[in-house]
C-alpha cells in the first residue's frame, strides 16, 4: 500500500538546537495513527513541518508521493492536509455554522459579482455550504447548536467544532494536535467514537495525544518521539511493551494503559 504521508530523514534545527533529528515515519491511507512522546520531544514541530508553518532543515515530506517541502501553508491545505491546534482557534464571535463555512472558502467558486449581486450561482453555492456545514456539525454531535455563538460552547464542544471546521476543507489527511486536552472522561469517550466514524467515512487521521488510553484505544500504528528522534514504532501492544518507550515515556503508568475493546475495531 502506498503511504499517504511520508517523512524521510527529516531534521529541524533552530540555530544549534536540534529539535528533530532524521525523523522517518509514514501514515497509511484510511488509518488512525498516533505520535506520542514526552513534552518537548518535537511532536508539534512535526505537525508544523507537515503543514508548512516551518521548513525542514533537511529531509523530505510527501503527501501521496508529492513533496510538500517549500509549499506555503495555504497550498498544503489545498493539497489535502488539515489540522487542529493544541490551543483552540475557533471564531468565538461567530456561530458554529459560520465557523464551519469559513473552512470551506477554497471550495466556494461564485466570485465577487455573485456575492455582491446574490446571483443564482452564489445562492446555490451558499445553500450547499450551509447544508454541508450542518452535516459536519452533525458528525460532531453539534448540529443542534448550529446557530449558537461558538463562545457559548463548553471547552470540549469547542474542540469538536474545530475538528468540524478542519473537515470542511475536505482533507485527505486530518492532523489532530491533542484533541482531548481539557476534556472529561465522558467527552473523551464520545470523541473517540466520533473519530472512528470520521475514519469510517474515508478520512486518514494522524494525531498527537498525551492521553494513553485514548491513543491506545484508537490508533492502529504509533510512533514515539524522544529528544527529537523516533525510538519506536508499531501497534499499541508493541508500544506498551517496548522497553525504550517505558523508560522514556510510559514509566510506571504503563501498568494502567489498556486498549479500549471494540471502540476502534
- Taking only the tens place, the pLDDT of each residue in 14-69 is 988 999 999 999 999 999 999 999 988 999 999 999 999 999 999 999 999 999 99
What CA–CA distances, in Å, run from 92 to 32, 51, 95, 228? 29, 24, 8, 35
Residues of the chain with pLDDT under 70: 1, 105-122, 250-265
Other beta carbons within 10 angstroms of residue 256's beta carbon come to 9
Handedness of CA 144, 150, 155, 161 (dihedral sign): positive
**Looking at residue 11, what DSSP letter applies?**
E
Give the position of cell 454531535: 141
**pLDDT value, residue 2:** 83
CA distance 222 to 215: 8
**pLDDT value, residue 24:** 97
**pLDDT value, residue 125:** 76
Residue pair 4/62 in contact by the 8 Å Cβ criterion: no
CA distance 248 to 265: 28
Structure-block grid coordinates of residue 229:
528522534
Start-end ranges of CATH 3.40.50.300 in the chain? Answer: 5-90+171-256
Q: Which CATH number fits domain 5-90+171-256: 3.10.180.10, 2.30.30.60, 3.40.50.300, 3.40.50.720?
A: 3.40.50.300
User: How much is the pTM?
Assistant: 0.87
- Angle (CA) 117-123-124 rounded to 5° is 145
**pLDDT value, residue 253:** 45
Amino acid at each position: 500500500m502506498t503511504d499517504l504521508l511520508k517523512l524521510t530523514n527529516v531534521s529541524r534545527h533552530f540555530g544549534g538546537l536540534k529539535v528533530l533529528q532524521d525523523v522517518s515515519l509514514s501514515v497509511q491511507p484510511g488509518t488512525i495513527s498516533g505520535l506520542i512522546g514526552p513534552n518537548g520531544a518535537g511532536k508539534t514541530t512535526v505537525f508544523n513541518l507537515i503543514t508548512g508553518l516551518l521548513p525542514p532543515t533537511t529531509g523530505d515530506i510527501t503527501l501521496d508521493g508529492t513533496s510538500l517541502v517549500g509549499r506555503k501553508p495555504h497550498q498544503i491545505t489545498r493539497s489535502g492536509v488539515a489540522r487542529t491546534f493544541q490551543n483552540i482557534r475557533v471564531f468565538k464571535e461567530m456561530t458554529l455554522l459560520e465557523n464551519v463555512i469559513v473552512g470551506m472558502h477554497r471550495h466556494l467558486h461564485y466570485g465577487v459579482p455573485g456575492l455582491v449581486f446574490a446571483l443564482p450561482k452564489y445562492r446555490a453555492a451558499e445553500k450547499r455550504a450551509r447544508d454541508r456545514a450542518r452535516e459536519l456539525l452533525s458528525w460532531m454531535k453539534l448540529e443542534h447548536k448550529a446557530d449558537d455563538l461558538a463562545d457559548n460552547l463548553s471547552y470540549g464542544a469547542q474542540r469538536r467544532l474545530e475538528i468540524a471546521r478542519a473537515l470542511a476543507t475536505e482533507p485527505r489527511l486530518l492532523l489532530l494536535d491533542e484533541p482531548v486536552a481539557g476534556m472529561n472522561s465522558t467527552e473523551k469517550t464520545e470523541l473517540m467514537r466520533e473519530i472512528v466514524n470520521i475514519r469510517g467515512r474515508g478520512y486518514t487521521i494522524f494525531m498527537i495525544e498525551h492521553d494513553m488510553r485514548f491513543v491506545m484505544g484508537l490508533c492502529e500504528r504509533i510512533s514515539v518521539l524522544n529528544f527529537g528522534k523516533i525510538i519506536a514504532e508499531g501497534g499499541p501492544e508493541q508500544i506498551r511493551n517496548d522497553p525504550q518507550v517505558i523508560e522514556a515515556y510510559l514509566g510506571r503508568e504503563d501498568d494502567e494503559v489498556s486498549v479500549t475493546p471494540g471502540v476502534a475495531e
